[in-house]
Amino acid sequence: MSVVTITLPDGRSWTPKFVQNIDQDKCIGCGRCFRVCGREVLQLVGIDEDGAVIALELGADDDDEYEKKVMTVANEKNCVGCEACAKICPKKCYTHEAMAA
Ligand code: SF4
Ligand code: SF4
């Protein structure tokens, strides 16, 4: 299978790996990945005791209102496949894949 590759200015080839999934069982909602993503791909959400999912702002003082906070992929098409989010994640939540050409 051929995949999308980028030719760097010095002629080398680089294969971007695009975000596929964040394992919400492992995610602790720390926000590190959100901070390093420059493409507005990610969205922190709170899950309340009824299972309702509510979009949150990072750093908001609302810990009591949610059972759990997790990161989600909100704008997958914005991803440029840099994998910065996966590199910084302390819980290895991310799955990335190259895109078929
Ligand atoms: S791979 Fe890069 S662009 Fe894509 S979600 Fe992660 S940090 Fe953002
Ligand atoms: S860095 Fe990892 S653990 Fe922290 S919010 Fe992002 S996905 Fe969740």
13-68 pLDDT per residue, tens: 999 999 999 999 999 999 999 999 999 999 999 998 898 999 998 887 777 788 89
Ligand 2 atom at minimum distance from 23 CA: 7
Beta carbons of 47 and 67 less than 8 angstroms apart: yes
C-alpha Rg value of the chain to the nearest Å: 16
- Report if residue 4 sits inside a domain: no
Position 1 scores a pLDDT of 76
Q: Whose CA is nearest to atom 6 of ligand 1?
A: 85
Whether residue 76 lies inside any domain: the answer is: yes
Judge whether 7 lies within some domain: no
Which residue's CA lies nearest to atom 3 of ligand 2?
27
Say what the pTM is: 0.92
Q: In 10 A of CB 42, how many CB atoms?
A: 23
Answer whether 42 contacts ligand 2 (Cβ < 6 A): no
Q: Is 8 part of a structural domain of the chain? A: no
Give the structural domain span for 41.
Answer: 22-92
Indicate whether 55 belongs to any domain: yes
In a domain, 97, yes or no: no
Greatest Cα-to-Cα distance within the chain, rounded to the nearest angstrom: 53
| Contact in structure between 94 and 33 (CB atoms under 8 Å) | yes
Domain count, the chain: 1
- Residue of 101, 100, 96 lying closest to 18 (CA atoms): 96
The pLDDT of residue 73 is above 90: yes
Query: What CATH number did the domain enclosing 32 receive?
Result: 3.30.70
In-domain check, residue 53: yes
